[in-house]
Amino acid sequence: MDEKTNITDDPFEPALFLRNPHVQSIMASSRLRLHYHWRNELARNTEEVILKTSTGSRLVSYLTRHPEPKGMFVFLHGWEGSSSSIYILDSADYFYRRGYMIGRLNLRDHGDSHHLNEDLFHAARLKETFDGVDYLASFSRIKPVYLVGFSLGGNFAMRIALRHGMKPINHLEHVFAISPPMNPYKATMAIDNGRAFYRYYFLKKWKRSLMKKQKLFPDRYDFSDLMDVESCMELTKMLIPYFPEIQSYQHYFKMYTLKYNAFKYLSLPLTVLIAEDDPIVSYQDFLNMDANHNLKILKQRYGGHCGFLDLFPASCWYQKAIAAIVS
């Protein structure tokens, strides 16, 4: 990375017992994070929006209006998460209480939306996700829009930031990516070769999602032979034949790998928030990104994967960092 690219080490130093990266990563989805009073307020003011994209697909999203909005936050969840993932709801609550409208978009086949599209989800479906963010952003009227993506959602957010230069999203002012995989092949291998509970967690949710799809479209899908697969990489390889537009699993990963030189042409502010101890995403992948005055990397020693949480008092570093930037 060129020295002109801004790497900031604003210290996040959680309690000693929270400095384990696996504890941080697990806490990211812990229900202990939810403030139930505000979650209920979000629910009361939230409406479901099913949108149709330019590719013909349909996506489920949720819109929470604010009586006097300063702007709008749009959130993208991670792989096998949803618009109701704990880290999404907690962040939505945080920014809603600070005066922002909230949009939460589900990726295809996430958040019980499997029935809306016959074709399966894959992570290279950028256009429909871009359209979903663009549609939600239209509700902001003339207010600023901020896009926040977590993990795979962060990878999508970074690609949307790059695409924005060719097809602008109205009023999109800043994109934030939290623990995004630059190299999804490496991230998949990290899941498979790291602590077993990561592999178990993702495989369990992925297989459950596939069986939902099979039940909805039994004439097209039979995934029974895939249920005994024991690695994410092997399951990826076995699913490639279902996507005629993808030549191989290597081709698939390349389709959503973020190249270092792509950010030379970044046309709006993009802030990446990462931890050195992330067990899934290597922070070293961000060291060779081309310099751009719009690109900022906020790197912490601790935080795990999408964690960055402390207790006594309960707080989330990336929420405070984002709030400071947009204010």
At residue 43, the pLDDT reads 76
Q: What spatial distance separates the first Cα and last Cα of the chain, rounded to whole Å?
A: 28
All structural domains of the chain, each given as residue ranges with its CATH number in brackets, are 16-192+259-326 (3.40.50.1820)
The predicted model gives 114-120 an average pLDDT of 98
pLDDT digits (tens, 9 = 90+) for 141-165: 889 999 999 999 999 999 999 999 9
Question: Helix 196-216 crosses helix 232-239 at what angle (to 10 degrees)?
Answer: 30
Distance of CA 7 to the CA centre of its chain: 21
At residue 141, the pLDDT reads 87
137: pLDDT strictly greater than 90: yes
1: pLDDT strictly greater than 60: no
- Whole-angstrom distance, CA of residue 285 vs CA of residue 258: 10
Share the mean pLDDT of the chain. Answer: 93
pLDDT digits (tens, 9 = 90+) for 271-296: 999 999 999 999 999 988 888 999 99
Tell me the pTM: 0.95
Distance of CA 169 to the CA centre of its chain: 18
- Whole-angstrom distance, CA of residue 66 vs CA of residue 42: 10
Residue 303's nearest CA partner among 276, 280, 271 is 276
Percentage of the chain lying above the pLDDT 90 cut: 85
**What CA–CA distances, in Å, run from 182 to 1, 35, 317?**
14, 32, 21
Backbone region of residue 293 per phi and psi (left: phi > 0; alpha: psi in -120 to 50; beta: other values): alpha
The predicted model gives 313-319 an average pLDDT of 92
- For the CA atoms of 250, 256, 259, 264, the dihedral, rounded to the nearest 10 degrees, stands at 160
Classify residue 9 by its DSSP letter. -
Instruction: Return all residues near 47 (Cβ < 8 A) that are at least 6 apart.
Output: 62, 63, 64, 65
Q: pLDDT category, 35, cuts 50, 70, 90?
A: low
pLDDT digits (tens, 9 = 90+) for 215-240: 999 999 999 999 999 999 999 999 99
